[in-house]
């Protein structure tokens, strides 16, 4: 009897996930960062993205750490505190993010020459941009 009631409880707890899966399958995982660039610093920020971020992301893509990446400009404004630039990085799934910090440090050292240079770039970016949001999202593919 206890086994039967245990199975019934497990079914009730898992059934919402089972029913949800009938509508979609899980796709890749995206890390999305929304950035507000301080006035008159857009050229400086874009130069930094081009010279530092793009080579790092390209190497991560070559090494299979990420599937893809994209940069977006926001063309509409909802207020002065809104974001301007979005960076989206695509991973195959959540498991692809296991051990990512160590792999990322190796790529950083290869491309930038070490942690100190990366810290300098990060510090200088704080002068001309503000991170508004950093989100992790699961893409879903409707059936």
Q: Which pLDDT tens digit goes with each residue over 73-107? A: 999 999 988 999 999 999 999 999 999 999 999 99
Q: Which one, of 30, 99, 27, lies nearest residue 63 by Cα?
A: 99
* Per-residue confidence (pLDDT) for residue 15, from 0 to 100: 52
Owning domain of residue 42? 25-142
- CA distances in angstroms from 46 to 35, 60, 100, 110, 142, listed in the order given: 12, 20, 25, 22, 35
Residue 7 lies in a domain: no
**Residue 4 vs residue 60, higher pLDDT:** 60
* Per-residue confidence (pLDDT) for residue 1, from 0 to 100: 59
At 40, which CATH number?
3.30.70.100
Note whether 31 and 89 are within 8 A (CB): yes
Residue 71 lies in a domain: yes
Residue 43 lies in a domain: yes
On the question of pLDDT at 20 being above 70, the answer is no
Task: In whole angstroms, give the CA distance from residue 48 to residue 119.
Answer: 13
Least confident of 5-9, 32-36, 137-141: 5-9
Q: DSSP letter for 114, please.
A: S
- CA distances in angstroms from 47 to 81, 97, 128, 138, listed in the order given: 23, 28, 12, 30
Give percent of the chain above pLDDT 70: 86
Q: Output the six-digit token pair for 113.
A: 């020459």
0.85 exceeded by the pTM?
no
Residue 19 lies in a domain: no
Give the chain's domain count. 1
Least confident of 52-61, 84-93, 112-121: 112-121
Residue 8 lies in a domain: no
Residue 3 lies in a domain: no
């Amino acid at each position: 009897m206890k086994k039967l009631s245990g199975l019934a409880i497990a079914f009730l707890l898992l059934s919402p996930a089972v029913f949800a899966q009938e509508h979609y399958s899980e796709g890749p995982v995206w890390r999305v960062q929304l950035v507000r660039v301080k006035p008159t610093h857009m050229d400086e920020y874009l130069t930094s993205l081009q010279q530092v971020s793009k080579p790092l992301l390209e190497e991560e893509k070559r090494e299979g750490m990420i599937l893809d990446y994209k940069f977006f400009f926001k063309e509409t404004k909802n207020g002065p505190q809104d974001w301007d630039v979005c960076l989206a990085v695509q991973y195959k799934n959540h498991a692809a993010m296991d051990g990512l910090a160590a792999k990322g440090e190796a790529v950083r050292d290869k491309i930038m020459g070490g942690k100190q240079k990366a810290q300098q770039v990060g510090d200088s970016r704080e002068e001309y941009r503000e991170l508004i949001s950093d989100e992790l999202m699961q893409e879903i593919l409707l059936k």
